[in-house]
Amino acid sequence: MTQRLIGRGGILDSVAARGAGLVVLVLVAYLPAFGGGWLWDDDILITANPLVTEARGLWGIWFYNTSPDYFPVTLTSYWIEYRLWADWAPGYHAVNIVWHAANTVLVWRILVRLGVPGAWLAAAVWGIHPVTVASVAWVAERKNTLSMFFGCLSVLGWMSYEDTEERRFYGWSLLSFVVALLAKTSLVTLPLILPVLSWWRRGRVTRVDLVRTVPFLLASFILGLVTLWYQMSHSAGASSGPLAAVLASLPRGGVLAGRAVGFYLWKDLWPTQLAMVYGVWPLETSRPRAYLPTLVVAALVAGLWWQRKEPWARAGLFAATVFLLALLPILGFLPATYMKSHASVADHWQYVALVAPVALAVALGVKGGGRWLPGGAGRAAAAVIILGILTFRHTAIHRTSKALWTQNLAVADVWDAHLGLSRALASEGENVAAIAEAKRALELYPAATPAWIDLGMNFTAVKRYDEAIAAYQVAIDQGGGDDLFQAAGLAAALGGDLARAEAFFARGAAKRPRDVSVRGDWGLALEKLGRHREALARYRDALAIDPNDPAALNALAYLLASRPGQTGDGDAVADAAEAVDLARRACTATDDGDPSFLDTLATALAAGGEYAAAVEVADRALALAVEGKDEPLAAEIRGHRELFRAGKPYRPE
């Protein structure tokens, strides 16, 4: 009995040690990602997503989701982490890597249960394969790592139910699958893969096996429709309906599928020249020979089926079927907005599917032993080391947007990469270079609305206001967001065309009746036009929407304090008193941390004759402006303070 326990303990120790070994491999390969920053659409999903940043967003994540796709489990993970480390990117990267390490261990356990030779080595190769970097080092692809985790749990539950007939394992499998779909619906084909696993383990698929998949298929159907609806509702242009969209996509899938499968297998075998975006392939669906690659893939699978009694063919058929089913949702047969304007293939799309060819290749090597691979252990170790180095290097590229998109352009000259590089350059203040990159993006894809918007922002930054307005107008014409009217209005106001600015603000306010900022900016433009009474009305409109908006409070306070009795809304004493109240509220809302708000309070106090208090507040404002290295504001505050010291209020010329 004691020997049996010791033996069992030794097995458990071995399992734990091997699992720990996989975790260490992943952590080492992904070390550069721990210090990575935000990439591409991370802001849309996390840092600029009110569903994540606002405490009340959790309800919206599940029941009023405004994201491009419905993946509430993934967004909930972001929501939880935002409470822990806000917009500190390394925290999110660390969690992503941990999920991937856990997936690597689960892949190993699944391959062991399937009896795949070299299961540990296959899991190790998958875990540190460079193709997985796009899913792990990019925070927005938490969708992949999280959905695969629960997908693996579902597979383990399914096999445990088959082995024991205990219903709790079936429930575990089904529940895990639903959670996986709620993290990302790319696993909708798992109900088709589960019977294939049963066939591999028992050599047959029974009617009972198929009946057991019905609840899984129902979950796939429902959440698949939800995803399809989200995809179509967020795409540009009119939609003809889900069924028509699917039917229209079938020819594209017929052409793309074979080419995509070949592309993915090549990257699996030779994982170099990887890119975030590969671009859209021209697909000539009207030419019969364009379907040849897909027909070749189908013929190869049919040949494996024909020879399935042979061990080698059975293994090949199993791996090929799992690989193709895992890829099926992104082979072009279903409508996908991303495929139309960004890329026909993507590394992160084969995160799950990659397991199949890796497991097959490793199993063949292990089974071949010395006959095929003399010194097999050494070669395996060399392969792991080489893959680890490639992954380490590719992960390092993902640390910054500038490095990522620069490398992408070396592999694929696509508009997304030029736009990404443009944004990276703009963040460094290199606006002229950013303009050149945005223009190149538009040469490649004139319908790229985000590039027009960024062009407008960069033109505004370099004071080329007419060109900025023109760029914003194109973005508006292409169906860009209603906030573009406000951006165009600001460019017009900065350029001195205040009448045009007011027109843009009026259109923006009509489009966004509950937006506070557009009314605030509109008020500023009216102020510059000298139409103070109308400006005051816009500020009051803004505060009617949100009485506690700091910017609107400050703007109205500054107008009343600097022009008491001139707005036609009251006498000078009343205006000064109201300005003090508004300015105090604005300062309180920002914890007295905004020097411009404190300057407004000082101006309001001086307007009411409280010069000593005004000087004291101006001193605090000046200290903050100097600390923040905002010299123009500091100079303005010094000028105001000198007036207050002389017992004079501030009055603009």
pLDDT band at 531 (very low <50, low <70, confident <90, very high): confident
Identify which has the larger pLDDT, 461 or 336: 461
pLDDT band at 567 (very low <50, low <70, confident <90, very high): confident
> Could you give the maximum distance between any two Cα atoms of the chain, in Å?
100
Per-residue pLDDT, 335: 67
Percent of the chain with pLDDT over 70: 93
Say yes or no to pLDDT of 469 above 80. Answer: yes
Per-residue pLDDT, 530: 82
Give the tens place of pLDDT for each residue, 349-402: 999 999 999 999 999 888 765 444 455 677 788 888 999 999 999 999 999 999
Angle at 217 between CA 214 and CA 222, to 5 degrees: 125
Residue 143: name the closest of 35, 46, 277, 50 by CA. Answer: 46
**Counting beta carbons within 10 angstroms of the beta carbon of residue 193, is it exposed (0 to 12), middle (13 to 18) or buried (19 or more)?**
buried
Say yes or no to pLDDT of 103 above 70. Answer: yes
pLDDT band at 338 (very low <50, low <70, confident <90, very high): confident
pLDDT band at 235 (very low <50, low <70, confident <90, very high): low
- Which residues, 6 or more positions from 269, have their beta carbon under 8 angstroms from its beta carbon? 357
End-to-end CA distance of the chain: 97
Per the CB < 8 A criterion, the answer to whether 569 and 598 are in contact is: no
**Counting beta carbons within 10 angstroms of the beta carbon of residue 64, is it exposed (0 to 12), middle (13 to 18) or buried (19 or more)?**
exposed
For CA atoms 179, 184, 185, 191, give the dihedral sign.
negative
Say yes or no to pLDDT of 4 above 50. Answer: no
Per the CB < 8 A criterion, the answer to whether 442 and 451 are in contact is: yes
**Mean pLDDT to the nearest integer, 486-515:** 89
- Comparing 146-155, 222-231, 398-407, 412-421, the range with the smallest average pLDDT is 222-231
**Counting beta carbons within 10 angstroms of the beta carbon of residue 71, is it exposed (0 to 12), middle (13 to 18) or buried (19 or more)?**
buried
**Phi–psi pair at 95, nearest 5 degrees:** -65, -40
Contacts of residues 200-206 at CB distance under 8 Å and 24 or more positions apart, as own/partner, are 200/114, 200/314, 200/318, 201/114, 201/115, 201/159, 201/162, 202/162
Q: What is the dihedral of CA 301, 302, 305, 307, to 10 degrees?
A: -100
**Mean pLDDT to the nearest integer, 44-68:** 87
Per-residue pLDDT, 88: 92
Please give the DSSP secondary-structure letter assigned to residue 554.
H
Say yes or no to pLDDT of 242 above 80. Answer: no
Q: Please provide the size of the chain in residues.
A: 653
Say yes or no to pLDDT of 434 above 50. Answer: yes
Q: Which fold has domain 404-591?
A: 1.25.40
Per-residue pLDDT, 23: 95
Record the tokens describing residue 446, joined without a space: 């004139």
Per-residue pLDDT, 5: 39
Say yes or no to pLDDT of 3 above 60. Answer: no
- Which residues, 6 or more positions from 419, have their beta carbon under 8 angstroms from its beta carbon? 437, 438, 441, 448, 450, 451, 454
Instruction: Return the exposure string of 346-355: e unless at least 16 CB atoms fall within 10 Å of the residue's CB, then b.
Output: bbbbbbbbbb
**Phi–psi pair at 206, nearest 5 degrees:** -95, 170
Per-residue pLDDT, 487: 92
For CA atoms 410, 414, 420, 424, give the dihedral sign.
positive
Return mean pLDDT, the chain. Answer: 89
Say yes or no to pLDDT of 236 above 70. Answer: no
Say yes or no to pLDDT of 240 above 70. Answer: no
Give the tens place of pLDDT for each residue, 401-424: 999 999 999 999 999 999 999 999
Identify which has the larger pLDDT, 525 or 232: 525
**Mean pLDDT to the nearest integer, 70-92:** 93
Distance CA 122, CA 384 (A): 10
Say yes or no to pLDDT of 647 above 90. Answer: yes
Per-residue pLDDT, 255: 85
pLDDT band at 245 (very low <50, low <70, confident <90, very high): low
Q: Helix, strand, coil proportions of the chain in percent (round to 5)?
A: 75, 0, 25
Region(s) of the chain under CATH 1.25.40.10:
404-591
Per the CB < 8 A criterion, the answer to whether 390 and 28 are in contact is: no
**Mean pLDDT to the nearest integer, 41-47:** 88
Q: What is the dihedral of CA 218, 224, 226, 231, to 10 degrees?
A: -170
Per the CB < 8 A criterion, the answer to whether 518 and 510 are in contact is: no
Record the tokens describing residue 545, joined without a space: 């929407």
Per the CB < 8 A criterion, the answer to whether 360 and 319 are in contact is: yes
Per-residue pLDDT, 355: 97
Per the CB < 8 A criterion, the answer to whether 262 and 357 are in contact is: no
**Mean pLDDT to the nearest integer, 201-215:** 91
Half-sphere exposure of 164 (CA within 13 A, CB side): 11
pLDDT band at 187 (very low <50, low <70, confident <90, very high): very high
Record the tokens describing residue 422, joined without a space: 């443009």
Give the tens place of pLDDT for each residue, 440-459: 999 999 999 999 999 999 99
Identify which has the larger pLDDT, 552 or 253: 552
Please give the DSSP secondary-structure letter assigned to residue 38.
-
